[in-house]
Amino acid sequence: MILAVSLIIPLLGAIVFLECPIDPQPLSFKEPPLLTGVLEPNIKLRQAERIFENQLIGPESIANIGDVLFTGTADGKILKIEDGEIKTLAILGHGPCRTREDEPTCGRPLGIRAGPNNTLFVADAYCGLYEIDPVTGDVKMLLSTSEPVEGHKMSFLNDLTLTRDGRKIFFTDSSSKWQRRDYSFLVMEGTDDGRLLEYDTVTKEVKVLMVGLRFPNGVQLSPAEDFVLVAETTLARIRRYYVSGLMKGGADMFVENMPGFPDNIRLSSSGGYWVAMSAVRPNPGFSMVDFISEKPWIKRIIFKLLSQETVMKFVPKYSLVVELSETGSYKRSLHDPNGMVVTYVSEAHEHNGYLYLGSFRSPFICRLNLEHV
Q: What is the pLDDT of residues 48-100, one digit of tens each?
A: 999 999 999 999 999 999 999 999 999 999 999 999 999 999 999 988 898 88
Question: What DSSP assignment string belongs to 140-188?
Answer: EEEEETTS-BTTB----EEEEEE-TTS-EEEEEE--SS--GGGHHHHHH
Predicted confidence at residue 127, as pLDDT, reads 97
Predicted confidence at residue 5, as pLDDT, reads 43
Residue type, 135: V
Domain count, the chain: 1
Q: How confident is the model at residue 316 (pLDDT cuts 50, 70, 90)?
A: confident
pLDDT at 216 over 70: yes
pLDDT at 4 over 50: no
Facing residues of 256 across strands? none
pLDDT at 1 over 60: no
DSSP character at residue 128:
E
Q: How confident is the model at residue 16 (pLDDT cuts 50, 70, 90)?
A: low
125-146 pLDDT per residue, tens: 999 999 999 999 999 999 999 9
Which residues neighbour 190 within 8 Å (Cβ) at sequence distance 6 or greater? 24, 25, 26, 27, 214, 234, 293
Bond into 284 cis (ω within 30): yes
19-58 pLDDT per residue, tens: 999 999 999 999 999 999 999 999 999 999 999 999 999 9
**Residue 94 sits in which domain range?**
1-369
Which domain CATH number covers 172?
2.120.10.30
pLDDT at 120 over 60: yes
266-277 pLDDT per residue, tens: 999 999 999 999
Low-confidence winner among 65-74, 122-131, 173-182, 284-293 (lowest mean pLDDT): 284-293
Give the residue-averaged pLDDT of 192-197. Answer: 98
What is the C-alpha R_g of the chain?
A: 20
Predicted confidence at residue 313, as pLDDT, reads 86
Question: What DSSP assignment string belongs to 40-109?
Answer: ----GGGG-EEESTTS-S----EEEETTEEEEE-TTSEEEEEETTEEEEEEE-S-S--SSGGGHHHH--E
Please tell me the pTM assigned to this model: 0.95
Predicted confidence at residue 17, as pLDDT, reads 64
